[in-house]
């Protein structure tokens, strides 16, 4: 790739991050939306959200999920990889955007067998099973087996695993791929190595959200666009 092409990608990355930045202020949790005939996924999202709140299954929550969906919608990825499925809440938001765009697939990785089975059931209930593959295992190892290019990477697993998961995926990321790391406001110390890396090497920024969930009132996501390393 020429220096001119690298420069263009870098400029696009800056524009992408600055143009899409928005701090969410809505409170959590929101009331479930009314089911719509043209959106069979929303009732499943609402049911999974309710289950997560009742059982304390950690999830991104409605406010950050809306931002995550927006980023997927803007980037139009062909392959999304998610590290940390839980019972499928964020995966439902991602896969719905892929279905609406008419392209792309999601590979989501979960280490707890019961969670993986429940997530698969939720994807089937939403009619998204053809777009989603749930892989069982340690994301740090499973991600090494995934063939790229990866256009969108969502990190939502153990905080200390962000760095090894990213390093395993880094060489497979497509030019201008988007990487989103959740819980940057709740656990920055445990993911310090990851944050230091992406902030020094790529175009990266932190977005803050008022989440109002049982495990926290405010959190952040780190949004990174893969472009030529900063000089």
Structural domain contains residue 230: no
Structural domain contains residue 212: yes
Structural domain contains residue 141: yes
d(CA 231, CA 212): 39
Over the chain, what is the mean pLDDT? 86
Residue 93: which CATH number? 3.40.50.150
d(CA 159, CA 174): 24
DSSP H helices in 102-161: 113-125, 139-142
34-88 pLDDT per residue, tens:
445 578 999 999 999 999 999 999 989 999 999 999 999 999 999 999 999 999 9
Of the candidates 133, 177, 130, the one whose C-alpha atom is nearest the C-alpha of residue 154 is 177
Structural domain contains residue 56: yes
pLDDT of residue 147: 92
DSSP H helices in the chain: 3-20, 41-55, 61-75, 89-101, 113-125, 139-142, 162-170, 192-201
d(CA 6, CA 11): 9
- Buried/exposed code over 125-143 (b: 16+ C-beta within 10 A; e: otherwise): bbebeebbebbeeebbebb
Angle, helices 192-201 vs 162-170, to 10°: value is 40
Structural domain contains residue 203: yes
C-alpha dist (Å) from residue 77 to 61, 179, 195: 22, 11, 23
d(CA 104, CA 120): 18
How many independent structural domains does the chain possess?
Answer: 1
Structural domain contains residue 231: no
How much is the average pLDDT of 91-111? Answer: 97
Confidence tier at 24 by pLDDT (50, 70, 90): very low
Confidence tier at 228 by pLDDT (50, 70, 90): low
pLDDT at 154 exceeding the cut of 80 = yes
What is the DSSP pairing of strand 173-181 with strand 216-225? Answer: antiparallel
Domain that holds residue 46: 3-225
Instruction: Taking the CA atoms of 189, 194, 199 and 203 in sequence, report the sign of the dihedral they define.
Output: negative
- Give 34's DSSP letter: P
How much is the average pLDDT of 24-30? Answer: 40
Structural domain contains residue 101: yes
What are the structure tokens assigned to 25, written together?
């202020």
Instruction: Taking the CA atoms of 16, 19, 23 and 29 in sequence, report the sign of the dihedral they define.
Output: negative
Structural domain contains residue 166: yes
């Amino acid at each position: 790739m020429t220096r001119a092409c690298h420069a263009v990608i870098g400029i696009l990355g800056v524009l992408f991050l600055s143009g899409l930045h928005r701090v969410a202020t809505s409170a959590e949790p929101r009331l479930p939306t009314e089911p719509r005939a043209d959106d069979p996924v929303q009732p499943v999202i609402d049911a999974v959200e309710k289950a997560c709140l009742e059982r304390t299954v950690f999830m991104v929550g409605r406010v950050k999920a809306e931002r995550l969906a927006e980023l997927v919608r803007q980037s139009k990825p062909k392959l999304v990889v998610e590290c940390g499925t839980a019972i499928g809440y964020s995966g439902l938001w991602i896969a719905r955007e892929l279905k609406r765009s008419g392209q792309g697939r999601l590979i989501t990785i979960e280490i707890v067998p019961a969670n993986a089975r429940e997530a698969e059931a939720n994807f089937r209930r939403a009619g998204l099973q053809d777009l989603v593959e749930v892989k069982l295992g340690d994301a740090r190892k499973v991600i090494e087996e995934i063939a790229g290019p990866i256009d969108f990477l969502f990190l939502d697993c153990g905080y200390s695993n962000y760095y090894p998961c990213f390093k395993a995926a880094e060489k497979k990321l497509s030019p201008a791929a988007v990487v989103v790391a959740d819980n940057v406001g709740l656990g920055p110390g445990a993911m310090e190595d990851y944050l230091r890396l992406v902030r020094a090497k790529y175009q990266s920024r932190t977005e803050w959200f008022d989440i109002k969930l049982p495990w926290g009132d405010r959190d952040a996501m780190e949004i990174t666009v893969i472009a030529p390393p900063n000089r």
